[in-house]
Structure 1
Amino acid sequence: MTPAVIAASLETALNLVLRLDPEMFPRLGALSGHVIAIEPSGMAMTFYLLPKPDGIQVTGRAEAEPSVRIRATPAALFRQWRGQRASGDEIAIEGDVGAGREFQAIL
């Protein structure tokens, strides 16, 4: 799969899950303007998440510098997405840690 296909699939999946809880959209709106870089270890690609009041846009490129970078194993990212905690050695947040933690809480 190409990074563009993965990004589009990830965007669709994230937004479908977010629609299950409409209370998440105001929280996403508060993160509007942030660029969140997700760097799954071992995949040699970066996904840029752009929170908006109506969902998340996922791209393979970002025009702005990321305000936060989240580096993690794919397994840790999946556990976070399912609402489970990842251990400290599996996930690292750099940059605007507050925005990164809020984004983690939303997911």
Structure 2
Amino acid sequence: METSNIAVITVPLTEWNAMQSKLESIDKSLLALQGKNKSEYLVPKEVCELLKCSRNTYQSYINKGILEPIRVKSEKYSKLLFKRIDVEYYLNSRIGSN
């Protein structure tokens, strides 16, 4: 009979969720350090290029709450910006799940 090197550990759900939140925070901090010499914010075109997605997919990410735009308003126009860290975090999490 073959033995397995798997251990099952029981952790309360609240502790598990807190740990996941901390790991996400650490991951975002590491991404911030990597992109230190890059612009902190991205315009929609840059987001589409970074995620390699169409404008429709980009819009669905906003509608689903995956991407959170920052609205910058002036007297003449309104502009959407996105935090580079959030976009790169989503990109890395999507790559890691494949």
Please state which band the TM-score falls in when normalised by the shorter chain. Answer: 0.3 to 0.5
- TM-score, length basis structure 1: 0.32
**Per residue, is there more strand in 1 or in 2?**
1
Structure of higher CA gyration radius: 2
More RCO (CA 8 Å, sep 6+):
2
- TM-score, length basis structure 2: 0.34
